[in-house]
Structure 1
């Protein structure tokens, strides 16, 4: 059993409203509740049935689950990939492979790489938030946010005030819309040019013995090809298999999600690895097509009065190509709660939110840019650049990778930067360097001298 890490508790509790009960909102709620603050989570959905399936939790987030006290519960439902490999799209030729991937992650970063069902993670976080005293209100749809109060107005007319409002309402954020309107600005989610098919297969519904072995023995598999790639991995300790197909976007401009055709999906991959096609032949039910979107960087995540702050996809939505959307959202929630745990007085809130933004904004936006770079390297069309990429990958096959690598999942430069991040240590180090009370103490000394 993993014992939850201790967290400082603020002697000056805040009343905090978290808008959104996705992974960023629930992580924020848990971290702030652990810090001794009073938390209300407002979620528009009438039940927690988050859409989606597979979720790759990398060590930078799984170590946060120890702090949150949900590690043991999630470990019981996790699939831990024993190897990771990248294949050429047409014939399945292995371009790169990392054996003992699970052991490698634990040795390097002190925490596991898990493949989990998104619903399992959301439910565990929601239960933990409630256990810590956070109030979760479902069916609470936001009509407006008043950044002077701050005050949140619900569609039923109810008004709720707080010391701090946290915008955790995702890509299509109402909070972001109101935040920018306050400044006379606006933006909308932008298409990336890609869409995703998401598939989940169950072990007991697959008869093919080769495919059953793939599912029951967890690994992380990639196929990379011209303008597209595929990632596949096991869930729930090898009883389910998650496949995500990333392809050029052909949805209408104003459509974010639409039922997909199995025939169209199979045709797109008809020339790809026969093993992948055997998996696709197992798909019997309809699949949805999801347009992949991003948004411009915000100038600031914090309101002028320091009574509102963003976390997660509302401020830094990410392409799924590094699996960091969920992980960085969990980081956001952990860091915000860790900073707010250090509050001695409500007057320090501006300093606290400024420190949170300093710790999170640069890193998150750098990850966003890195996801686009990963897409470029995985989606190369056949030609000289693609051949050079493949030759580089093959040159490192069977050896320890020693150079900047096209697969950032294995790259000795990018992987430590992503997976080695420790939200608690980062916050503690920043607070040692710049304690929240320092500015207030300096002002008091100046006043005494005068």
Structure 2
């Protein structure tokens, strides 16, 4: 068994967006960091991803924003429309006033493009990335953590960050909770633009919302690809059918949609389905003072606010800031600075991410209502102007570790527990 000596090193378990973002943030802060990924290669499944200003401001700090915009697209509006009639309900302007307020753009990109940028930047910053390393044990000690892999390799680190996703095996060391199935399922994928049967305005991100279903469309890679996401509540799940949410049920549910949505769903990819899960927020993220959860391992959320990756990147920046405040560079004999850094990180992040998790659930409920509730929703949206950002300030205006600006200036705030 090989033990890797690490005097001033962090080990990150998981090489997704949260794990690589954390490696980059720590390496930028001058820390030694190693990422252990169980897959044979670093990669990302899925299709499009939406990144709000609370994430793109961080990507700018790390020198990646311009490259991401070049690889993706900066839409002009977020649009909500009625899935049954196609009628527009509301639009949010993402151009001048939005940029002035949040100091960074809203960007859509392919998940793989974002991951590749993070991976390349992390390596350039000095992070060590090791695929095909399945971690099976983490043993915090008084002055270090021992990490054991399935292939017999062992590592020794000052602290460990578990960024191993929704089904995190290391969360089980802190909580007995399990993922919660929403009863909704998603089909998603990016296709060449010429294969899309129906497209919305290519400058917009459009969500068609309706009773128990929604459909999202937006362009990627400068308009050469088109991302589509179809989500619906499965009646067969409620009935206990193990084959719930299959393509036949997808098309049956969306047969009630308007022609635009109904036709577009026919071109969506159905090789893989994504049942939608989250978990209840937990307050305790730190084990033994030397291991912390991060990203979906700490706070998996439903997709309705498009904040999963954004919150993981916020985590990365907040952790690096906490380490910088509490943990001197170089050898440290006492474990108190490590404990202080991880405790400060979790204390800062847990209330913020819990709020996002709960709001994501609520926003999903609002999208999927019917009857009088839908009428009331539509009336509220109709009276919200395209530059009314009051509902998004708490979400898009947050920057980890930064204090609120003047009310007359840009809205970039440090979120507190509320």
Scaled by the length of structure 2, what TM-score is found? 0.87
- 2:24 aligned with 1:30: yes
- Residue correspondences, number: 389
Q: Distance in 1 between matches of 2:73 and 2:36?
A: 31
Q: Distance in 1 between matches of 2:33 and 2:314?
A: 18
Q: Distance in 1 between matches of 2:255 and 2:399?
A: 42
Q: Distance in 2 between matches of 1:109 and 1:329?
A: 19
Scaled by the length of structure 1, what TM-score is found? 0.81
Corresponding residue for residue 408 of structure 2: none
Corresponding residue for residue 374 of structure 2: 386
Q: 5+ unaligned residues in a row in structure 1: which ranges?
A: 1-11, 402-411, 428-450
Deviation at 1:34, TM superposition (A): 1.0
Q: Which residue of the other structure, out of 331, 353, 357, is the alignment partner of 2:342?
A: 353
Q: Which residue of the other structure, out of 74, 84, 89, is the alignment partner of 1:80?
A: 74
Matches within 5 A, 1:47-446: 47-98=41-92, 100-148=93-141, 149-177=144-172, 179-180=173-174, 186-206=176-196, 211=198, 214=200, 217-249=202-234, 261-283=246-268, 285-304=269-288, 306-342=289-325, 343-344=327-328, 346=332, 347-382=336-371, 384-396=372-384, 400-401=387-388, 412-425=389-402
Q: What do you get for the CA RMSD once the two structures are aligned?
A: 2.4
Deviation readout 1:319-343 (Å, 9 max, x if unpaired): 0000011000000001101221232
Comparing 287-296 with 153-162, greater Cα deviation is found at: 287-296
SS of 1:49's equivalent? coil
Deviation at 1:35, TM superposition (A): 1.1
Q: Distance in 2 between matches of 1:366 and 1:251?
A: 31
Deviation readout 1:170-201 (Å, 9 max, x if unpaired): 11112212x23xxxx52221212222111322
SS of 2:18's equivalent? helix
> Structure 2 vs 1, CA of residues 227 and 107 (structure 1 numbering), >3 Å: closer, same or farther?
same
Q: Distance in 2 between matches of 1:329 and 1:282?
A: 31
Deviation at 1:426, TM superposition (A): 5.0
Comparing 348-357 with 104-113, greater Cα deviation is found at: 348-357
Corresponding residue for residue 19 of structure 1: 13
SS of 1:413's equivalent? coil
Deviation readout 1:379-436 (Å, 9 max, x if unpaired): 1122x2221221222234x6654xxxxxxxxxx3330111111125259xxxxxxxxx
> Structure 2 vs 1, CA of residues 55 and 399 (structure 1 numbering), >3 Å: closer, same or farther?
closer
Do the aligned partners of 2:236 and 2:244 also contact (CA within 8 Å) in 1? no
Q: Distance in 2 between matches of 1:286 and 1:389?
A: 31
Do the aligned partners of 1:140 and 1:154 also contact (CA within 8 Å) in 2? yes
Deviation readout 1:185-225 (Å, 9 max, x if unpaired): 5222121222211132211334x6xx46x36x321101111
> Structure 2 vs 1, CA of residues 292 and 202 (structure 1 numbering), >3 Å: closer, same or farther?
same
Do the aligned partners of 1:230 and 1:244 also contact (CA within 8 Å) in 2? yes
Do the aligned partners of 1:83 and 1:97 also contact (CA within 8 Å) in 2? yes
Do the aligned partners of 1:258 and 1:290 also contact (CA within 8 Å) in 2? no
Q: Distance in 2 between matches of 1:394 and 1:326?
A: 29
Deviation at 1:95, TM superposition (A): 1.2
Q: Distance in 2 between matches of 1:126 and 1:55?
A: 17
Deviation at 1:141, TM superposition (A): 0.5
Q: Distance in 1 between matches of 2:301 and 2:168?
A: 14
Q: Which has the higher helix share?
A: 1
Q: Which has the larger radius of gyration?
A: 1
Deviation readout 1:330-358 (Å, 9 max, x if unpaired): 00001101221232364422222222112
Q: Distance in 1 between matches of 2:61 and 2:266?
A: 42
